[in-house]
Amino acid sequence: MQESGKWRRTVRLVAAVLGGAVIAGIVVGVVARVLMRAILLVLDMPTSFTVGGTVAILVAFAVLAVPAAATATARPAIRHAGRWATAAVTGWGAAQNGIADAKALLLADDSQLPLLGVLTVAFAAAVVAHGRLAQYVTGRLAGPAATGARTAPLAETAPAS
């Protein structure tokens, strides 16, 4: 009977990791796509995006969320490392993509710079939130038993008066 319970727990954790990575990838990928469009609008550049390109971005963000999602139920130090690994690889990819458009940013009009700065900071915030979101969703999908939370009734955990 215990082997069956371990098997179910393992399957649930794997499903939670995959679900957390996919959901975080979709949410942050959509945010990134909207921010990319906003940057192009500010620069007065064409804003047409292909469906294939959007799907590729969503898949990339889902794959990049795996380190954070896989460490969501680990000890705090490992959980933080997984979150920052996701932020580092996502940030590296975002920076490489941004460097490809650096010429357009360098040639931007002075009046466009404040808004471009705000959008860049928003993009950076999305990159940092990527790992945290993946861990949050994974923890919720995995359930309290996987995250080490106490499942005792409230009356048992409340301090005595």
Residue 37 lies in a domain: yes
- pLDDT higher than 80, residue 146: no
C-alpha distance from residue 96 to each of 77, 83, 153 (Å): 28, 20, 50
Higher-pLDDT residue of 136, 148: 136
Look at the chain and report how many structural domains it folds into: 1
How much is the mean pLDDT over the chain? Answer: 83
3-state helix, strand, coil in the chain (%, to 5): 80, 0, 20
C-alpha distance from residue 92 to each of 38, 64, 88 (Å): 21, 11, 6
Residue 151 lies in a domain: no
CB-based contact 55:88 (threshold 8 Å) = no
Which pTM was predicted? Answer: 0.79
Residue 98 belongs to domain spanning: 2-144
Residue 152 lies in a domain: no
Residue 50 lies in a domain: yes
Structure tokens at 115: 């808004």
Higher-pLDDT residue of 151, 111: 111
